[in-house]
Structure 1
Amino acid sequence: MDFIKVAAACPKTRVADVDYNVKNILQCINDAVKNESKFIVFPELCLTAYTCGDLFLQEYLLSKALDGIFEILESTKDHDALIAVGAPLICGSTLYNCAFLLFKGSILGIVPKSYLPNYSEFYEKRWFTEGLSVEDERVDLPFQKDVPFGVNLIFSSSIANFGVEICEDLWVTIPPSSYLSLMGAHIIGNLSASNELVSKMDYRKSLISNQSARSICSYIYSSAGVHESTTDVLFSGHLLISENGSLLKENDRFQRENEVIYSIVDVFKLKSERMKNLSFRDSSKFINKNPNMIKFEFSDASISTFDRFVDKHPFVPSYEKEREVRCKEIFNIQAAGLAKRLEHTGSKKAVVGISGGLDSTLALLVIVKTFELLGIDKKNIVTITMPGFGTTDRTYNNAINLCKELGTDLREINIVKASLQHFEDIGHDKDIHDVTYENVQARERTQILMDIANKERGLLIGTGDLSELALGWCTYNGDHMSMYSVNPSIPKTLVRYLVQYVAQHESTEVVRDILMDILDTPVSPELLPKDANGEIAQKTEDIVGPYELHDFFLYHFIKHGSTKERIFFLAKAAFKDNYSDEEIQKWLDKFIFRFFTQQFKRSALPDGPKVGSISLSPRGDWRMPSDAKPWE
């Protein structure tokens, strides 16, 4: 599935004591290898410690550093992991601050630090030389000859490509990792020694997150720890693992023992994002660097325990405060989109069908917000409830009461008589509750709404959401159609939170109570007759499956181009405590079949605003043939 486990390590150090440092580095490596890590990143100059000062100009320390590299090589011959450790290296009369990339007893390559800080508390140019211009060179060491040396090294395996930069490289205007990513590196390691100042941690995290997003990569950051010299500054051993803008793992700083953090990186997702991001692809045309690809291969990159967090509800922020901010933003996008359309058409009225369900409720709330923005009387919102064979008292009363409280022009048109007449006209038995029975009602309602919109010189506002469009859970030329739609890129799992947001933050107490009851009502089109107790008999999720599963399937199918097998794998990890493997497989099969066979409905969608990264608009986001074969 193209997942790989990585690690960031901060060993205990003694300044200028290579033997002690090697001992702790090896302990961290052994721990990381036992935890199945395949890429292990250590701090800058960790073999000697970063704060050696003028001791870096002593032959003894430089020679001991190479001895330390050799000892690590000898001790890791049987370790199936790429290891990045920091050490000084002298080439002729030039001293470099380097990352040594070690694998199964050999040095795959050595990367010098491109940029040297020489301001404020830093004065690296006193000892080291910038490696920015070093490319495609080779160095001979006492124990290994002809080692690749340069800033353009990409360490390439079948599962992922790796690159490294060192500390200050991240802080410059164009970090070397930008070039490394454009040259093919999916995972970047940063060997760092970043001292602690008030608020520096936040800025550092922001840099790492933004760089991983900008470079569409995973970024593994390891900084020197508290045992560095404290003559002038203090280091905290900050460890971070980020992926395409998201923080996967972070440690608590200022630890006094060896520490290793781990995370599983989704290389498939990174490759998918790069493939779809044409700007990333185009940027690679303008770099004037050629990668030196160093080939190597892991013996086994499998992960026995998959403990990566997989969000059950990828469309919905997990934290309440973030969710509130997101809902407010989406609600404003919806209202702004509708406002523009009303202004453009010169319409002063909007028409919407109100069922007492979630989608039509959200659409109505958006219309109300829009009319408030434009300063239009809410009596110009024509709300029409159209009871049919399956309408229950609960949904009917909620629809009526909500419209009254919001002050709209409420109208009621019962569709039973018209539907019975139509059954007679087309020769359909009213006691056969098939798709014709259901769709007659949906199309009758749409006809009423369209005609009243014409009569009132207003716009018919569509109510269908993203989840329904993905499944084709709408009647073609029925509720599928409108003059402008406000919910088309909002999945069902998010619709619920949007209504809840309006209930809690933008409503009166009476409206809030009505909205909370609507939220508590089972999702249903109410096209089949009520049960003996007058309750909803037709529950959508009993027919098509749980919307939380379908939204999960949709997200990974569209966002990352995931295969059916990969979606199943991720769903099992996310919903292991909620659904059996058989249930997940059943509804995934249903999703794939319906998604492929119902494209013809999406190909004829009315206009509507995009609010998130996933949309099925045939004009801007999703272009698919209507007769493609469903995947098996």
Structure 2
Amino acid sequence: MGHPVILATCSLNQWALDFEGNKERILQSIVEAKQRGAKLRVGPELEIPGYGCFDHFLEGDTVLHSWEILCQLLTDEKTRGILCDVGMPILHRSTLYNCRVLFLDGRIVMIRPKMWMANDGNYRELRYFTPWSRRGELDDHILPRMVAAATGQESVPFGDAVVSTRDSVVGVELCEELFTPNSPHIAMGLDGVEIFINPSASHHELRKLHRRVDLIREATLKLGGIYLYANQQGCDGDRLYYDGCPLIACNGNIVAQGSQFSLDDVQVVTATIDLDDVRAARASKSRGMQAAMGNGTIRAGKGFERIRVPFDLGVRQEWTDDTALQSTKPIETRYHTPEEEIALGPACWLWDYLRRSRTQGYFIPLSGGIDSCATSVIVFSMCRLVVKACTGPNPNEQVLADVRRICGESSTWVPQRPQEVSNKIFVTCYMGTENSSGETRQRAKELAEAIGSYHVDLNMDIVVSAIVSLFVLVTNKKPQFKVHGGTAAENLALQNIQARLRMLLAYMFAQLVPWVRGQLGGLLVLGSANVDESLRGYLTKYDCSSADINPIGGISKTDLKRFIAYAQTSFSLPVLGDFLNATPTAELEPITNEYVQADEADMGMTYDELSVFGRLRKVDKCGPYSMFTKLVHEWGDRLSPPEIAEKVKRFFFEYARNRHKMTTLTPSYHAESYSPDDNRFDLRPFLYPSRFPLQFKKIDELAAKIPDRSKAAKTG
């Protein structure tokens, strides 16, 4: 190797406003990087305060405490001898910026503010930060007195520049900037930057990792260069799970990759790379001509300002067989299947929520249906991860300490089976009525036995009867179910009584079951409404879907079924086959020989259709009319234009009239791009003209003109 460098990037399980804990995790990652010989360490976005501070970024305290922690990092001997990159909010000339601070040996090298903000979907960075719009320009940033005293510097460079060491050039591309069309790495690479660092806070979403990896590979494939991607990991206080997966790429190849889902608070990834390989990859004459011409977007073609540092990133090597460094070889990128993502992402999120909320476990109303089944299996998956982390040759001491505290066990206890953990922290409860079937009750019991949960089986008819009796006493009118001759209003009211009472009982049992078992504390109630039911509004407001948190609220019914099929084999839970074969039903109406309540019949659409509606509405940004025009092409071979029109109108009518339910939706793990979560991800009105007079009229007019292709398909 001509010019070897060892570089480190990491994922950290940071927690919003946990300044001391965040500092310790940053220090641990720096120490690990140095132990592996790295001379450059990259960390996640806003890692000092934690990314998910939201409106706390507007508080002066957050900025102040970030500077205090930075001072401690600057003066800590552990940070000497390595170029460190850390993230924090900084107030510059009375304007708040999302910044990277690069420092070496107790002195700040430069501060790089973020230029392109993530401001859609789950992100609202423009609410807190101002983007740095002066490409290729620098200011002097006057340091706070405590920082100046620690570093001996009165001011430091602030702006869009790169760091020039004695043997290479390092440039920052901050999270969202990678995803923009004119990414900074293009201009930096043409200006000679060889090492790109990307500190990120990117959340998990099903099937999303491919895009991230493809962009990183592409960034170095055309330009040549080394790309270090760092990411936050874990639940830092909200609906998102940041999925880690730190990466190092070189010349279009991934050479190092960390795990996407892990209970480790600190994960450091390193690679040894020859800078000569980067220079060889840039030997193309067309690339050289573009570089020589300059880039008009930065300092009128003069290139980036270089902050010079008298420091070598390269590693001195002795040319002997025993000590000669070897370049890290390219690897195959590891991707999880969607089923594995569901098994791991929400499970890690639940673990972080449990240990950081200081509660004693989880409670779920287990109905015998697939949604509460999937939620319970995710909790079981969490228990599997905990046991795996606690056993083996290198047990995770943090996980061990947390699980002992939560379970109330001694400092020598080590769980050996996931069922052992499940029985201590997970309570399942079947809340039956006269409308419940023996099949669902038996399925719930068998699942609880298989996963080891503490199971309660009760019948709540006496409570339902008391509510109905009170209504009869007050009004002298007794409501009846539809199958007994009641009106639609009576039928719905009687169903909702059962659903809402389940919520009340869930919270009572969650608070008191630990007391019954001789334990301290209470349990968090888990919801189990999937993303499609929420989208359609097929749930009762303040029923048992109203809970503390919901691990499947951003996952489609289709994906949940695939997950259950995966878990049946991978988790050795044969009972899950019974859930897959059962017809989804709320069991809120009486069962007769002629009628059994079924979810898809009640909704007037299938779960697969709901997924299509959801993606068109959110991802493709379709209103009723444009959705119809798209579906005429997609579904026209099996449905007539009027049939498609009726389905689209039915969906938008039900979506609109139930939209108010989203304002009270249980905070859910975000996993799907069409989540209807009103609180963060889907900012839309909740009072609609639910019959959409103009839109539906145009749909009907167009449907009458379009030829019916489904007839030919059916006769063929």
Q: TM-score, normalised by structure 1?
A: 0.47
